[in-house]
Amino acid sequence: PAMVLAAGTVPPLGLVGLTLLGGTLAAGGANAINQYYDRDIDRLMSRTRGRPLPSHRIVPENALTFGLVLGGVAFYLLAVTVNVLSAALALGALLFYVLVYTAWLKRSTPQNIVIGGAAGAVPVLVGWAAVTGRVGAAAWVLFLIVFLWTPPHFWALSLRHEKEYAAAGVPMLPVVRGQAQTVRSILRYSLVLVASTLLLWPVAGMGAVYVAVAMALGAGFVRHAVRLRRNASPALAMGMFRFSISYLALLFAAVAVDRLVRIPIAG
């Protein structure tokens, strides 16, 4: 969707494929290195103990080598077949995720997922740079949307696994500040997130399709956050977590559809 918005139409499919392949390799590299670093705490949580390292299916050093090779191949592929800016952004996201989020923030502050979430927002910049060779204002709005989406998305999951994070010594917000503070923060971020999605209207000249979808999805997101604020049950937390995944996918699908069908907003 970021590439469609940047191009104003469907970009060349070869460019899309190469960008997605390079991004996938970079994300896979970050994931493998993250699992190498976190193998000690992954074995303490039911959500992660089935991963290859805590379950002893892969030698840790091999996982680290695999992750580094994936990252190197991703940079080379993007630099040679797309452009150097997209390659540098993808590599920067990998390094930020591994060095800033995993190695530093995750075990030291409840703001870990807030700051660390920037790594997950970089792919929209990669896609934009792949098409235009630069990063435009609309790309930064897309980045902001993903950045603001990440905390309520992940805090909802952390409410469900609060005891496991506490046992592993990971200072997720529910562990450090409690459930009441967490659900308040989820609601605040949800409201700011929905407002940020509407920024794309004036900045990128979005039309009626995107605005309508953004408002409808935003209402659903806030509704989940309000329900969770009233009752921080594991079931409602997982309900919001699952909805947040669909929310982001549908919102970005609306970005692409809006740019392709171009229905202006009356007045």
Q: Which of 68, 65, 46 is nearest to 55 (CA)?
A: 46
Q: Could you report the per-residue pLDDT of 236-267, keeping only the tens digit for each? A: 999 999 999 999 999 999 999 999 998 998 75
Q: Report pLDDT digits (tens) over 22-44.
A: 999 999 999 999 999 999 999 99
Whether the CA torsion 31, 37, 39, 44 is positive or negative: it is negative
Q: What is the pLDDT of residues 60-87, one digit of tens each?
A: 999 999 999 999 999 999 999 999 999 9
User: What gap in Å lies between CA 61 and CA 246, rounded to an integer?
Assistant: 35
Each residue's pLDDT tens digit, 172-215: 999 999 999 999 999 999 999 999 999 999 999 999 999 999 99
* pTM, entire model: 0.96
Q: Are 127 and 6 in contact (CB under 8 A)?
A: yes
Distance CA 61, CA 63 (A): 5
Q: Which residues contact 77 (CB under 8 A, 6 or more apart)?
A: 18, 21, 22, 25, 87
Give pLDDT tens digits for 103-125: 999 999 999 999 999 999 999 99
